[in-house]
Chain A
Amino acid sequence: MRFGWYRFLVIAVAAVAVLAPLVLVFYQSFLDAPFFQPVTHFSLEAYSFILSESDFWDAFVTTLLIGAGMTAIAVPLGAILAFLIVRTDLPGRSWLEPVILVPIFVSAIVLAFGYVVALGPVGIFSIMVKSWIGVVPWNIYSLASIAIVAGLMHVPHVYLYTAAALRGLGTDLEEAARVIGANPWRVAIHVSLPMVMPAILFAAVLVFFLGFELFGIPLVLGDPQGILVLSTYLYKLTNLLGVPSYQLMAVVVVAIVVVTLPLIYLQRRLLRQSQRYVSMRGKGQRAAPLRLGNWRWPAFAFIALWFFVTVVLPIAGITLRSFVVTWGEGVKLTEVLTLDHYRALLNFPNIERGILNTLAIGTIGGAFAVVGYTLVALAIHRWNSGWVRFVDYIVMLPRAMPGIVAGLALLWVFLFFKPISPLRATLVSLWLAYTIVWFAYGMRLISGTLLQVAPELEEAARTVGASEARVMRDVSVPLIRYGMIASWLLIFLIFVREYSTGIYLLGPGTEVIGSLLVSLWGTGDVDLVSALSVINVAMIGIGLAIAVRLGVRLHA
């Protein structure tokens, strides 16, 4: 029964890590002053204030609209991409996969700012288009644009889930359809799609859910028109009354959690349905890909177009910005080229330490995070128990707190939970914050690989008398080691781009690139911001290149 103890220990640690900040926030929402102040009273005033604020409801509706819009865009695109890459003879599909995932790894605020430089009213491409047709036919500051940009950026999430589901399915049914003469489209729509529908819906719920914590895109693109979403409304709340009123922010988080819970429930139901198809998993034969025929290159062009709009345009924008003094209407770019921003970066205090810390938190921190996620995943692996449901919920909950609140709540935890207080000023606190916030993502990576281990192997070990712990140690873990390395790389990429969560935990000696970016953005040093962003993107690019070179399979 030792393994039982292990299970409960792991679940308890995970639950405490996730729930401690959340419980603090809930508690705060019912008080009339910061909870740590000597005199506080129980009060529902924060609720009545927020619920009677028209801005809150506007932001709420806007968030729902953006969530719905981005889901409507990301889901079909992601599903089509997955089908093309997993099932067809699309040109270049072996190297396309990591490329498709790029948007996950680039900081949203960087991409959004890149869009302003590239496609804003006086953006580089906008001016080009204007010189051809006389007007700029788009407005990137509208609600629709925010939804489209967010949708395009979340295509990889849908791709990941759908591709994993497709790989898990046998190809015999599709082949049968081909044999009787169906074209690739018909096969996709009438055979593949229904089989992976639960996975697609699961991804749809996830994307909608992620819509609630969008921050960078609405902050940069919503600013000029005053478009507020819940996360940017939180930002406004810190200031509305002059002194930050935590109870008001806490109420908004409670509201987001209330919306989130049914979504998680829905996700669980969908996942259960998708597992009905588990019986078809594990067919070993390598099926011949569907021939796209004349559609090969148009399909490739379609992916290239998506990639151009989602990644190339904004990154080109930010890169260009890092090499010029100024830009915009009436500026000849050839006359304003400069390397000064990079030179200035060399003299920037703590820049090396920022870069080193970022790399350390990505590599070492990423490795520990993967170990942590694996421990939790093993604890609930093939376990029929109500506790698994509990874990499913706590895994998703941290995502219900937008970054700025999560950061503050974690600071509180580190301050007022004395045993871990000494860790606050070290990178460990930052690591813990990142690990908690990316719990859902990491768990999905690990449990995805774990599910690929055929149960027969584990059962075989059990039959010859191995204990549960022994099965895990000698069978499951060795079998998923490549999956763990792949997850490590993915987590590395995520940690390298993260910024908002750590803002309150950083101090002298623990700065990371993300935090430097944020503080520079505030004081107006866009020159340095763009140069630093390019370095950040380059780090991510190198990580990806290594991943591809090592042949790491980036899907879970």
Chain B
Amino acid sequence: MVRFTTAALAAALAVAFGIPSVTQVQAQVPQGYPADYSKIVDAAKKEGKVVVYSTTDSASANALIQDFRKLYPGVTVEYSDLNSTELYNRFIAEAASGSGTGDVTWSSAMDLQVKLAADGYALTYDSPEIPSLPKWAVFKNQAFGTTYEPITFVYNKRLVPAEDVPQSHADFVKLLNAKPDFYKGKITAYDPERSGVGYLFVNQDVANWPQAWDLFKAFGKESIKLYTSAGAMMERVTSGEHLVAYGIFGSYALSRSHKDPNLGIVMPKDYTLVTSRVASISSKAKNPNAAKLFLDYILSKRGQEIIANKAELYSLRSDVTGEATLKKVEELIGDKARPVPINADLLEALNQTKRLAFLKKWQAAMKGQ
């Protein structure tokens, strides 16, 4: 509230003294953007709002939305948070019916987002922020990575002996072979059969690491417990019902560890998968200009600083500093980060035959075979 009042006061003063306020100047064309960007800004103000469908819960996204509002006071953000399947279901049905749908889709299901783009649901947009983004994070100027989230192991600091904590995927296999009784039923992970991200993670493990199936078989022998929600897993790890969780978004783990210091986080030293929340502008957007502003904003340095330091979703820009950033991840694991590239390869995960074959192999591994 205080902040609002100050802002209002500043605005009132600015008007009173005929000084253009700082926010107003910025609102026209952000620094470094082409001059004709002001046309988009003006058109966006006429549209007046942008509808965002997102898998990021509104508590985390709130700081981002507030700041966007400050930057573009004429554009309100209508923000809906849904899980990734709901987002996809809702978006394609609404798009087909021709009634209003999200102007921006912003989802952690990278494969579904690329599918939307491949199916023609995404607008091609040459965002002025593209030069500042890693190459792997931009797909045909239609789908844009917005975060840099390491996939981590989390463990219970109270109950897991310090020397046990696996520092790499290979360590994990060794640990399970060395202390099978202690960890029986105490390991947890996403269920690739029931969770899209779960599938993505293990599928990428196999692509990045030849011994992945050995680890999965070891999981099977240890009667790993599989869940569909990060919350359920972290809750059970911190309570001691389970001890180590495999494959948790570093972003969720980080915020949780700030509240509960008992939660330990490891970025595996042999390789760490990195996923990204993918944003697209709908090709059927009713507010395409406002959508462009929003997309550019979350990719911009200003937006990414909030993504890193307020939302703790990990910024993917190398010019942003803080705990949840690409820079920090590099400091910790050097060149071992393996970002999942946003490209047509992701569609392979959606190929029915391949997917079912993979899952069959997974089911066998869960039986230790």
Report the Cα distance A518→B83, complex, angstroms.
Answer: 9
Are B239's CB and A326's CB within 8 A? yes
> Mask for B70-94, Cβ within 8 A of A = 1, else 0?
0000000011111101101110111
**Which of these, B96, B226, B231, B260, contacts A37 with CB under 8 Å?**
B96
B-contacting 9-mer, from A270-278, A288-296, A500-508, A541-549: A500-508
The B interface is mostly helix, strand or loop, or mixed, namely helix
Q: Is A526 an interface residue (CB 8 A)?
A: yes
Are A223's CB and B239's CB within 8 A? no
Report the Cα distance A215→B33, complex, angstroms.
Answer: 50
Contacts A327-B239, A331-B158, A416-B97 given; does A519 touch B57 at CB 8 Å: yes
Are B195's CB and A239's CB within 8 A? yes
Measured CB to CB, the nearest residue on chain A to B229 is: A522
Are B96's CB and A519's CB within 8 A? no
**Which of these, A116, A236, A526, contacts B234 with CB under 8 Å?**
A526
Are B85's CB and A521's CB within 8 A? no
Q: Is A452 an interface residue (CB 8 A)?
A: no
Are B80's CB and A524's CB within 8 A? no
A residues 94-139 in Cβ contact with B at 8 Å? 116-117, 120-122
Please give, as numbers and ranges, the residues of chain A lying within 8 Å of B184 by CB-CB distance: none
B-contacting 9-mer, from A195-203, A240-248, A463-471: A240-248
> Mask for A33-60, Cβ within 8 A of B = 1, else 0?
0101100000000000000000000000
Q: Is A523 an interface residue (CB 8 A)?
A: yes
Are B352's CB and A519's CB within 8 A? no
Are A519's CB and B240's CB within 8 A? no
B residues 36-86 in Cβ contact with A at 8 Å? 51, 55-60, 62, 65, 78-83, 85-86
Are B60's CB and A523's CB within 8 A? yes
> Mask for A515-536, Cβ within 8 A of B = 1, else 0?
0001111111111110000000
Contacts A326-B238, A519-B82 given; does A524 touch B112 at CB 8 Å: no
Are A243's CB and B234's CB within 8 A? no
Are A122's CB and B241's CB within 8 A? yes
Q: Give chain A nearest CB distance to B257 CB in angstroms.
A: 11
Are A244's CB and B85's CB within 8 A? yes
Q: Is B8 an interface residue (CB 8 A)?
A: no
Q: Which of A117, A223, A327, A523 has the most CB of B within 10 A?
A: A523
Please give, as numbers and ranges, the residues of chain A lying within 8 Å of B240 by CB-CB distance: 122, 328-331
> Mask for A225-269, Cβ within 8 A of B = 1, else 0?
110000000011011111110000000000000000000000000
Q: Is A415 an interface residue (CB 8 A)?
A: yes
Q: Is A224 an interface residue (CB 8 A)?
A: yes
Q: Is A144 an interface residue (CB 8 A)?
A: no
Measured CB to CB, the nearest residue on chain A to B353 is: A241
**Which of these, B55, B260, B349, contacts A326 with CB under 8 Å?**
B260
Q: Is A350 an interface residue (CB 8 A)?
A: yes
Are A330's CB and B231's CB within 8 A? no
Q: Is A426 an interface residue (CB 8 A)?
A: no
Are A329's CB and B78's CB within 8 A? no
Are B252's CB and A528's CB within 8 A? no
Q: What's the interface size class on B, roughly?
A: 35 or more
Are A34's CB and B193's CB within 8 A? no
Please give, as numbers and ranges, the residues of chain A lying within 8 Å of B260 by CB-CB distance: 325-326
> Mask for A346-379, Cβ within 8 A of B = 1, else 0?
0011100000000000000000000000000000
B residues 204-260 in Cβ contact with A at 8 Å? 225-236, 238-241, 252, 256, 259-260
Q: Is B149 an interface residue (CB 8 A)?
A: no
Q: Is B196 an interface residue (CB 8 A)?
A: yes
Are A527's CB and B259's CB within 8 A? yes
Q: Give chain B nearest CB distance to A424 CB in angstroms.
A: 7
Q: Give chain B nearest CB distance to A35 CB in angstroms.
A: 9
Are A522's CB and B99's CB within 8 A? no
Are A328's CB and B78's CB within 8 A? no
Contacts A36-B97, A327-B239, A508-B78 given; does A524 touch B59 at CB 8 Å: no
Are A524's CB and B229's CB within 8 A? yes
Are B231's CB and A529's CB within 8 A? yes
Are B239's CB and A120's CB within 8 A? yes
Q: Is B297 an interface residue (CB 8 A)?
A: no
Q: Is B159 an interface residue (CB 8 A)?
A: yes
Q: Give chain A nearest CB distance to B368 CB in angstroms.
A: 15
Are A34's CB and B92's CB within 8 A? yes
Are A415's CB and B99's CB within 8 A? yes
Please give, as numbers and ranges, the residues of chain B lying within 8 Å of A526 by CB-CB distance: 231, 234-235
**Which of these, A34, A328, A522, contacts B241 with CB under 8 Å?**
A328
Please give, as numbers and ranges, the residues of chain B lying within 8 Å of A37 by CB-CB distance: 96
Are B89's CB and A504's CB within 8 A? yes
Contacts A34-B92, A240-B359, A415-B94 given; does A524 touch B350 at CB 8 Å: no
Contacts A120-B241, A244-B88, A331-B158 given; does A525 touch B80 at CB 8 Å: no
Report the Cα distance A42→B197, complex, angstroms.
Answer: 31
Q: Is B262 an interface residue (CB 8 A)?
A: yes
Q: Is A183 an interface residue (CB 8 A)?
A: no
Measured CB to CB, the nearest residue on chain A to B101 is: A415
**Which of these, A34, A242, A415, contacts B199 with CB under 8 Å?**
A242
Contacts A122-B239, A242-B196, A242-B349 given; does A519 touch B81 at CB 8 Å: yes
Please give, as numbers and ranges, the residues of chain B lying within 8 Å of A226 by CB-CB distance: 191, 226
Report the Cα distance A525→B236, complex, angstroms.
Answer: 13
Report the Cα distance A525→B56, complex, angstroms.
Answer: 12
Are B241's CB and A415's CB within 8 A? no
**Which of these, A242, A411, A528, contacts B111 with CB under 8 Å?**
A242
**Which of these, B57, B86, B226, B259, contacts A523 with CB under 8 Å?**
B57
Are A412's CB and B93's CB within 8 A? yes
**Which of these, B57, B93, B225, contacts A411 with CB under 8 Å?**
B93
Please give, as numbers and ranges, the residues of chain B lying within 8 Å of A344 by CB-CB distance: 59
Q: Give chain A nearest CB distance to B250 CB in angstroms.
A: 12
Contacts A415-B94, A523-B231 given; does A242 touch B262 at CB 8 Å: no
Are B350's CB and A242's CB within 8 A? yes
Q: Give chain B nearest CB distance to A118 CB in angstroms.
A: 12
Please give, as numbers and ranges, the residues of chain A lying within 8 Å of B93 by CB-CB distance: 34, 36, 411-412, 415
Q: Is A453 an interface residue (CB 8 A)?
A: no
Are B229's CB and A521's CB within 8 A? yes
Further pairs besides A243-B112, A329-B239: 5, Cβ < 8 Å: A240-B356, A243-B350, A331-B158, A508-B78, A524-B233
Partner-B contacts on A (CB < 8 A) = 34, 36-37, 116-117, 120-122, 220, 223-226, 235-236, 238-244, 325-331, 340, 344, 348-350, 408, 411-412, 415-416, 421, 424-425, 503-504, 506-509, 518-529
Please list the 3 inter-chain residue pairs (A to B) with the smallest Cβ-Cβ separation, ordered nearest first: A328-B239, A329-B240, A524-B231
Q: List 8 A-B contacts (CB under 8 A).
A: A239-B193, A242-B352, A330-B159, A411-B90, A421-B97, A508-B79, A521-B229, A526-B234
